[in-house]
Homo-oligomer: A and B are copies of this chain.
Amino acid sequence: MSHTPIPSDLDSPIPLRRTRRGSGRTTLADVARVAGVSAQTVSRVLNSPETVPVATLEHVRAAIAQVRYVPNRLAGGLASGRSKLVAALVPAIASPVFQETIQALTQSLASKGYQLMLGESGYDDADEIQLLENLISRGPDGIVLTRVVQSELARQRLASSGIPVVETWDLTDTPVDMLIGFSHEDVGSAVADILLDRGCQAPALISGDDPRARRRRTGFVNRLIARGCIGRESDLPVVEISAPAHFGDGRRAFVALMDKGCHVDGLHCSTDALALGALIEARERNIAVPDQLAVVGFGDQVTSAYTSPALTTVRIDGRRMGQLAAQLILERAEGKPVSARIQNVGFEVVQRASA
């Protein structure tokens, strides 16, 4: 109850209750003491230098350097409500598909002193919520998802957290908050057009089983039907591969397709990795690409331009999505008006030798 009962000259022998030992690390207060100013002034030097006269600025900065002060942003974040942390949730970290996005995010954020926290959700939604809660509990200033949120519970948690959310790599009519993506259905249609335009009559599909690959498949099938190439969905030979799909899967899938005895003159693979596998297997079987078989991938991996024949594919600008997502979150975090909550970045058909 008593505040330092009586200011005596003697060292108080009365045990001053208990005390928690500080971490021992240098704090703002230490800097303030050395510089002969208040902690507040040091804080201002760090966070709003424009409000401090140059003389003070330099003096305090010298003190900071002298004591090798490293701020504690956990404390800063707690006090200010801004952590300068951004969370990103990716289905698979090792998938080349999302790397440009992750890299662009990291770089765009780092340039403003923000840091990325990375979480891996996997392709099923089992612990999506747990992961999200763990991320939210760290008070990020924004959350970037490289897909549309699946479960209703997760959507609610995100919405009620009040944290800016950007969903990417997809479109939806009901985004949680902000959205930067492209239409997977349209990609499917565009690929169908490539094959039909070059005269293919017997198309086939090797597809992943994640929701987005499924939607590309839908777009592909619908366009084939619309243009009279096939009568109904079941007319299209399809091999489905469970995500994450690799090179070897494409090779095996192509074998499976051939074993079915299908005649195929146009093949769409739902990732470039699968397409490369198909390409290799076709060569082994002396099937000429593109003359006997046209092949179209998706994703435009770095390697795809250098295969022989070079792979015709669909290029997605993952880097741009990462940059835009970072921009939206930074704008929100700094209270600026947000450029555009919903953006369709589209895609680009890359015509190469394989189709």
Contacts and interface: CB of A to CB of B under 8 A. Distances in A.
Contacts of A276: 303, 306
A134 to B, nearest CB: 6
Interface string A61-74: 00000001011111
Interface in A20-38: 23, 25
Interface stretch (A94-102, A217-225, A330-338): A94-102
B93 A247 contact: no
Contacts of A160: 68
A180 to B, nearest CB: 19
A117 B83 CA distance: 13
A269 interface: no
A110 B137 contact: no
A161 B70 contact: yes
Nearest to A1: B3
A116 B115 contact: no
Interface string A8-29: 0000000000000001010000
A78 B81 contact: no
A78 B74 contact: yes
A306 B99 contact: no
Contact of A23 (B81, B136, B251, B303): B81
A303 B247 CA distance: 6
Range for the number of chain A residues in contact with chain B: 35 or more
A34 B25 CA distance: 37
A308 interface: yes
Main SS of the interface on chain A?
Answer: helix
A117 B120 contact: no
A135 interface: yes
A41 interface: no
A96 B134 CA distance: 27
Nearest to A24: B162
A350 interface: no
A305 B78 CA distance: 50
Name, among A81, A107, A110, A118, the residue most crowded by chain B CB atoms within 10 Å (CB to CB): A118
Interface string A324-353: 000000000000000000000000000000
A118 B106 contact: yes
A85 interface: yes
A6 interface: no
Interface of A: 23, 25, 68, 70-75, 77-78, 81, 83, 85, 92-94, 96, 99-100, 102-103, 106-107, 110, 113, 115-120, 131, 133-139, 157, 160-162, 246-248, 251, 273, 276-277, 280, 283-284, 302-303, 305-308
